[in-house]
């Protein structure tokens, strides 16, 4: 059974990014996957302190909420990150998660070839003309760095208020379909 890990990077536990992530995970679950959802903003995650201790071992020496995320990433076949846009980039909570995956980068660079995992991005922006280029670049670079093949994204502009996405049936359906397709 495929394992799909969703990481929420929004301070709003039930906000637009969360609703989009839940649609993706529902699609994956209905297609037969085991799903795991972790909420980065409630996991007490410190930033990377650049100590380089992971350089030789591939293990981060900082003990905090990332310990659970590392285990889940290792278990997962599919990784999906869901974040709101903050000045065309990801939330600081999601950025902390990615920065702390320096240890996974250390492991990936020693391996021969990709990990066989696939990664996806879900992102929402408040403005109708939201610029997703920065968040796409950051997430694609992250996936390349940790040996995860990029599978695609759902990017939704114009969802400013909490819950706006609930009226965007086509976007919710796209996330659901992408979740179903993620395990094929």
- Tell me which residue range forms the domain holding 143: 3-122+134-181
- Decide if 164 is inside a domain: yes
Residues 80/152, Cβ–Cβ less than 8 Å: no
Instruction: Indicate the number of domains in the chain.
Output: 1
141: left (phi over 0), alpha (psi -120 to 50) or beta: alpha
Answer whether residue 43 is part of any domain. yes
Identify the CATH number of the domain in which residue 52 sits: 3.40.50.360
Cα angle 10, 58, 93; round to 5: 10
Q: Tell me if 170 sits within 8 A of 34, measured CB to CB.
A: no
Q: What is the pLDDT of residue 113?
A: 66
Would you give per-residue pLDDT tens digits along the chain (184 residues)? 999 999 999 999 889 999 999 999 999 999 999 999 999 999 999 999 999 989 888 899 999 999 999 999 999 999 999 999 999 999 999 999 999 998 888 888 787 667 789 999 999 999 999 999 999 999 999 999 999 999 999 999 999 888 899 999 999 999 999 999 999 8
Closest listed residue to residue 49, CA positions, set 60, 41, 58, 57: 60
Query: Does any domain span residue 53?
Result: yes
- pLDDT tens-place string over residues 14-68: 899 999 999 999 999 999 999 999 999 999 999 999 999 898 888 999 999 999 9
| C-alpha to C-alpha distance for 179 and 92, rounded to whole angstroms | 25
Residue 129 in any domain: the answer is no
Q: Is the residue at 42 inside a domain? A: yes
Q: Quick one: pLDDT at residue 30? A: 98
Considering the domain boundaries, does residue 148 fall inside one? yes
pLDDT at site 171: 97
Residues 6+ away with beta carbon under 8 Å from 119: 78, 79, 80, 81, 139, 142, 143, 148, 149, 150, 151
Domain membership of residue 128 (yes or no) is: no
Residue 46 placed within a domain:
yes
Describe the crossing of helices 169-181 and 16-30 by its angle, rounded to 10 degrees: 40
The answer to whether the beta carbons of residues 158 and 124 sit under 8 Å apart is no
Residue 50 and residue 132: Cα distance in Å, rounded? 28
């Amino acid at each position: 059974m495929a394992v799909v890990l969703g990481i929420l990077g929004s301070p709003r536990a039930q906000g637009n990014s969360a609703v989009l992530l839940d649609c993706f995970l529902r699609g994956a679950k209905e297609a037969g996957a085991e799903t795991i959802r972790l909420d980065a903003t409630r996991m007490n995650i410190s930033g990377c302190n650049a100590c380089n201790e992971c350089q030789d071992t591939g293990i981060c020496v900082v003990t905090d909420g990332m310990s659970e995320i590392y285990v889940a990433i290792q278990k997962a076949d599919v990784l999906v990150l869901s974040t709101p846009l903050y000045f065309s980039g990801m939330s600081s909570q999601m950025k902390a998660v990615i920065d702390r995956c320096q240890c996974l980068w250390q492991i990936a660079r020693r391996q021969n070839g990709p990990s066989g995992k696939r990664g996806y991005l879900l992102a929402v922006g408040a403005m109708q003309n939201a610029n997703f280029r920065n968040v796409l670049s950051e997430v694609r670079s992250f996936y390349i760095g940790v040996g995860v093949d990029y599978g695609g994204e759902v990017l939704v502009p114009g969802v400013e208020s909490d819950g706006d996405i609930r009226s965007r049936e086509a976007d919710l359906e796209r996330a659901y379909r992408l979740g179903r397709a993620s395990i094929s």
